[in-house]
Amino acid sequence: MTMCPKKTTKVGRPRSSDKETSERGERILNAAEELFALHGYDGVTLRTLANAAGVDVALINYYFGPKQQLFDTVFKRRAEILNQERLTALENARQASAPDVIAVEKIIEAFLRPLEVAQESDDEGWRNYCALLAYVNNSAVWGPVLMSKHYNDLVDVFIDALRQALPKADDADLYWCYHYMSGAMSLTFANTGRIDKMSGGLCRSDDFQAAYDRMIPFIAAGFRQVCDR
């Protein structure tokens, strides 16, 4: 699943067909997603991107504006999909638990399991996006900007659900525990292969089901230990 870019029209320019515009925009976004995931923001030039997408450099600016705006658009389009999947999972868990409060494990699963699905997707773009997400989440420059802009509202919803599940919790403890979960997510997104070497092949960083099957109870237990005192 991908989101098509917003089309713009400027006086004096010939208008391409909607299909052609959409295809070009998608090509640019997909190429940018892959290159940003591999090389980071500073390691990608618009000319390199134009060559990868098979378009003129001027078209990138025409469709998406300057490089920073393009980076935001690339990051946003799958963030919106992930956020909706997580909210749907949380609502399904809420309905299944009613009239009881959702268990901590179910809240954490609703937050994390869509990421496993994304990493297991046959769409290579999702794997590129997960690598990009790891890069942004660990960047002192981009993390406070893009993560806050595109994910903070979602985090607030899940923190509120955790407040209900852990009524004794102090807000500071909840946010610290989220911070630790975010770190575990980022390492799993990055898929560096380090655990493969450390474990002598016993564990594989691309075995996403194994990773999330263990991460969910691990994180839930951490929340309970720190917040339910």
Q: Consecutive sets of 10 residues in the chain, 229 residues long: mean pLDDT of each? A: 36 44 88 96 96 94 94 96 97 96 97 95 93 94 94 97 96 97 93 94 96 97 92
User: Residue 118 has what pLDDT?
Assistant: 94
User: Residue 18 has what pLDDT?
Assistant: 57
CA distances from 90 to 5, 98, 118, 128, 143 (A): 28, 12, 17, 25, 25
User: Residue 23 has what pLDDT?
Assistant: 86
The closest of 201, 200, 195 to 215, measured between CA atoms, is 195
User: Residue 42 has what pLDDT?
Assistant: 95
Tokens of 98: 């009613």
User: Residue 1 has what pLDDT?
Assistant: 44
Instruction: Tell me the C-alpha distance between 133 and 182, whole Å.
Output: 11
User: Residue 142 has what pLDDT?
Assistant: 94
Could you identify the residue written with the tokens 């194994």? 210
User: Residue 131 has what pLDDT?
Assistant: 93
Assigned superfamily of 18-67: Homeodomain-like (1.10.10.60)
Question: What's the pTM value of the predicted model, to 2 decimals?
Answer: 0.86
State the span(s) of the chain assigned CATH 1.10.357.10: 77-227
CATH class of domain segment(s) 77-227: mainly alpha
Q: DSSP assignment of 183-228, as one string?
A: HHHHHHHHT-SHHHHHTTTSS-TT-HHHHHHHHHHHHHHHHHHHH-
User: Residue 39 has what pLDDT?
Assistant: 96
State the span(s) of the chain assigned CATH 1.10.10.60: 18-67
User: Residue 36 has what pLDDT?
Assistant: 97
User: Residue 229 has what pLDDT?
Assistant: 74
